[in-house]
Structure 1
């Protein structure tokens, strides 16, 4: 097993006007499960391919266990790469799927059989070696996939959107055995997913990527509770943070009837008079006390209900309000009660003490 380091890595794909990876610096610890998350096209797969050697970079270095592998051929790097979906060949048995990386290297049949039997036993698919992938359930297909990734004892494993197109419900994704097997074997793994909820559920650490740039690296709690950029705030979480443009004036961020205190250090860090207020859907409430309270922070927003989504336990209200620069969309997460109707005028109070403040010019978090 080995640690991995990307040093100032940049890649530009032919025909694209901007880099798919732009000066990426990222360190993955030995034995760590690092989850790369971001929207489709953000650069997650490109980073995996740069590690595996499937794509060339135009600058920077890739190191595995301290060794510069930037110029090495893919088969010399010791990296297993699993593509999107369950990464199993449907026409082959589980045995032949697991054996595939070994047979491609022309190992003896006896050695292949012994290694496949051993890894299948450890991964929990020894009783299904004769079956085709379509006969396996969600759990077993992932175990077979991991067995194939680990059969040649790689230094690192790259897993690219393993649940994409699988039809696996979101509620089952946290049960994936991938993370369990990764920790059991102690293999270093980079796991790419467009689902930040998947990332929050399984990662040792998360790297959030937006437009080829690593925005933030940290544990699930660090990334969720203290997003460093607007890109992270607006992406991470089952229901990402509302980002509301406001005007900085007299030491406060003002929007509608809401105002949030801007500290002196925060004011000094601003590049203009625009502030972005970040509030998670559960920090907004329909109705309530709209008074300022202590005279410094609080108030309410007025909006119009656009869509109400009711799942039987709670409901989400999608609303639209007027901001300083145009319409702003909000999501309000509410417990049970009488939901509004579409087109209804809403008074939305905010837990302003839970607000996150960002500079509108740079998108960076203002100092706490």
Structure 2
């Protein structure tokens, strides 16, 4: 087990004008499951590779238990990094996959057999050892990945998109084998994923990245309830928050006929008169009273339990699409004009110039 600190960690690839990882400062607690989340290309994989020693730092430091790893070879760092996908060789059995890191280190056959047996018992894979990955369920594959990652007794495990860029099946979100084994073993684990759903299901804390920078680090509940930047608000939630540009006046920010209150302290914190109003799909309702947002339905999705209504409204400088989650009541037809109401006590406000949350 180990604690990790990234200090101003920066990586710029040759020929690129923008850093892949830009001055990241991040602390991962000993024994924590930290999920690095964010859109594809946000720097998650590069940050893990910098920790493992597969990418150099152009600036900054990476510390494990206070030790600067700059002069430590990748195979001496005690970092187990499994790259995108299930990280299992399809032509090898489960036993051979678990043993692979040990055989690469030329461990004795006796040591390999003993360690594979220990991990098979820990990960509940005794019956699956002779099988190949294609014969495993999704849960069994995740357990096999963790067994392979733990084979060399690393200080830290890094899993880079272990679901191959996809999301966890709904049946595993409440009890992910990766999260279960991490908590039972107490090992420090960094899990990179493009899926905000996965992040919320398994993480102790979430670090949301965008364009190489960490936007926000906190427990999942708080990141969802109070996204710190526009980039976080755009990523978090399914569907994500509606973000509407507006101009602030003395009376507030107006979206169509909807007046959003903006207190004097928030107006004073703005760097310009422009603001971004965040409205979650669940906090909008169809058929608002006078003073709502006038919109036109452009798409209606029926999931059986709810409707997602995509509507277009005009704002200064163009149009904006809104997504409204409707669980009951009337649903507009395509092309129909209607009013959209909002729960104003649950509005999120961001400075348009900086993208930073207000208040």
TM-score by length of 1: 0.95
| Structure 2 partner of 1:349 | 341
1:170 CA drift (Å): 4.8
| Structure 1 partner of 2:32 | 32
| Structure 1 partner of 2:209 | 209
Determine helix, strand or coil for the equivalent of 1:262. Answer: coil
Tell me if structure 2 keeps the 8 A contact 1:313–1:336. Answer: no
1:168 CA drift (Å): 5.7
Q: Distance in 2 between matches of 1:220 and 1:158?
A: 19
Tell me if structure 1 keeps the 8 A contact 2:173–2:202. Answer: no
Q: Distance in 2 between matches of 1:95 and 1:335?
A: 48
Q: Distance in 2 between matches of 1:175 and 1:308?
A: 33
Q: Deviations over 1:126-148 (max 9, x none)?
A: 11111111111111111011000
Q: Distance in 2 between matches of 1:70 and 1:339?
A: 59
Q: Using a 3 Å threshold, how does the CA distance of structure 1 residues 165 and 240 change in structure 2: closer, same or farther?
A: closer
Tell me if structure 1 keeps the 8 A contact 2:9–2:24. Answer: yes
Corresponding residue pairs, total: 359
1:166 CA drift (Å): 6.2
Determine helix, strand or coil for the equivalent of 2:235. Answer: coil
Q: Pairwise CA RMSD of aligned residues?
A: 1.3
Q: Deviations over 1:318-339 (max 9, x none)?
A: 1111112211111000003342
**Uncovered stretches (5+) of structure 2, i.e. residues with no partner:** none
| Structure 2 partner of 1:189 | 189
Q: Using a 3 Å threshold, how does the CA distance of structure 1 residues 38 and 117 change in structure 2: closer, same or farther?
A: same
Q: Using a 3 Å threshold, how does the CA distance of structure 1 residues 165 and 205 change in structure 2: closer, same or farther?
A: closer
Q: Deviations over 1:207-240 (max 9, x none)?
A: 0000001000000111000011011111111211
Q: Distance in 1 between matches of 2:168 and 2:205?
A: 23
Q: Using a 3 Å threshold, how does the CA distance of structure 1 residues 42 and 93 change in structure 2: closer, same or farther?
A: same
1:346 CA drift (Å): 1.9
1:74 CA drift (Å): 0.9
Q: Distance in 2 between matches of 1:254 and 1:287?
A: 18
| Structure 2 partner of 1:302 | 294
Tell me if structure 1 keeps the 8 A contact 2:83–2:160. Answer: yes
Determine helix, strand or coil for the equivalent of 2:216. Answer: strand
1:169 CA drift (Å): 3.9
Q: Distance in 2 between matches of 1:75 and 1:151?
A: 14
**Uncovered stretches (5+) of structure 1, i.e. residues with no partner:** 291-298
- How does 1:153-172 map onto structure 2 within 5 Å? 153-164=153-164, 169-170=169-170, 172=172
| Structure 2 partner of 1:83 | 83
Tell me if structure 2 keeps the 8 A contact 1:245–1:325. Answer: no
1:254 CA drift (Å): 1.3
Moved more, 160-169 or 331-340: 160-169
